[in-house]
Amino acid sequence: MPDAREIEMIEREEPRFVQFNEGDVVEGVLVEIKSLSVQGKPAIRYTVDDNGQLYSFLGTYQINEKIHFGDKGKKVRIRYEGEDRSVARSGNPMRIFRVFVSTEVVNGAAERGDM
């Protein structure tokens, strides 16, 4: 059905997947928390909007304990500090993250449909 108005179309891309290296920081508005399966094991994927650029990363025990479903629409900052080799599971050292979450939903998050 032809339309006289010109409608702008933009391509939607998948979020950039982040694999943290020591000192890496991801910061932005938390827009999605999704349960999924990775190599047959349950996992949680978080998606953050940093001024229009989407980033996603998988949760670790620490991240999953510190970020809650009620945090959608809030600003988050996740910083990878490194490994604690004194705590290991199946030979893998525990990864240490500092997680910061704003106390309130970011202005405009609800209007953008982030929640």
Distance CA(25)–CA(88), nearest Å, equals 23
Whether residue 61 is contained in a domain is answered as yes
Whether residue 1 is contained in a domain is answered as no
Question: For residue 106, what are the domain limits?
Answer: 16-112
What does the pLDDT read at residue 3?
62
Q: Where are the alpha helices (DSSP H) in the chain?
A: 61-66, 109-112
CATH number of the domain encompassing residue 88? 2.40.50
Distance CA(71)–CA(46), nearest Å, equals 11
Q: What is the pTM of this model?
A: 0.81
Number of domains into which the chain is organized:
1
Taking the chain (115 residues) in runs of 10, the rounded mean pLDDT of each run is 78 91 96 95 96 95 95 97 88 92 82 46
Whether residue 75 is contained in a domain is answered as yes
φ, ψ (nearest 5 deg) of residue 83: -115, 150
What does the pLDDT read at residue 11?
86
Distance CA(77)–CA(74), nearest Å, equals 10
What does the pLDDT read at residue 89?
82
CB 97 within 8 A of CB 63: yes
What does the pLDDT read at residue 108?
65
Whether residue 59 is contained in a domain is answered as yes
Whether residue 80 is contained in a domain is answered as yes
Whether residue 3 is contained in a domain is answered as no
Whether residue 8 is contained in a domain is answered as no
Whether residue 4 is contained in a domain is answered as no
